[in-house]
C-alpha cells in the first residue's frame, strides 16, 4: 500500500481476478491523482492459478477518495489485459 499515515482508513473499491487487472485499475486511479493500494499483490504472483479459494486482488483507496474512485471505476472499468482488442458482437 502507498506510504500514507498509519491512521489512514482504507476502503475496498475493487476486487479483481488477476493482478494485471488490478494494476491497470490502480494506474488509472493514480492518473486522476488518487492514492490506490493493492492488497494481495505479492500473493497474487505466488498463488496465481493455484488456489481457487484466493480472495482475489483487492484495490483500496483512502476513505476520502472512495466515492471518486468508485465512480471512475464504474465509468471506465479496466478492460481485458490479454491483448484481445476484438470488439464483442
Q: For 24-50, what is each residue's pLDDT tens digit?
A: 999 999 999 999 999 867 655 555 555
Query: Domain boundaries in the chain?
Result: 12-51+58-75
- In the sheet with 10-16, reading across from the earlier edge strand, the strands are 10-16, 57-62, 37-39
Beta bridge partners of 14: 59
The pTM assigned to this predicted structure is 0.71
Percent residues over pLDDT 90 in the chain:
42
Which pLDDT belongs to residue 1? 62
Task: Name the residue among 79, 63, 62, 67 with its Cα closest to residue 28.
Answer: 79
Q: Where are the alpha helices (DSSP H) in the chain?
A: 19-31, 41-47, 66-75
Amino acid at each position: 500500500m502507498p506510504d500514507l499515515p498509519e491512521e489512514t482508513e482504507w476502503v475496498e473499491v475493487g476486487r479483481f481476478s488477476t493482478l494485471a487487472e488490478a494494476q491497470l485499475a490502480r494506474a488509472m486511479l493514480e492518473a486522476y491523482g488518487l492514492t490506490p493500494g493493492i492488497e494481495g499483490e505479492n500473493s497474487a504472483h505466488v498463488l496465481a492459478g493455484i488456489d481457487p479459494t484466493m480472495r482475489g486482488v483487492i484495490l483500496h483507496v483512502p476513505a476520502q477518495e472512495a466515492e471518486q474512485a468508485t465512480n471512475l471505476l464504474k465509468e471506465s472499468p479496466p478492460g481485458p489485459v490479454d491483448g484481445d482488442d476484438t470488439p464483442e458482437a
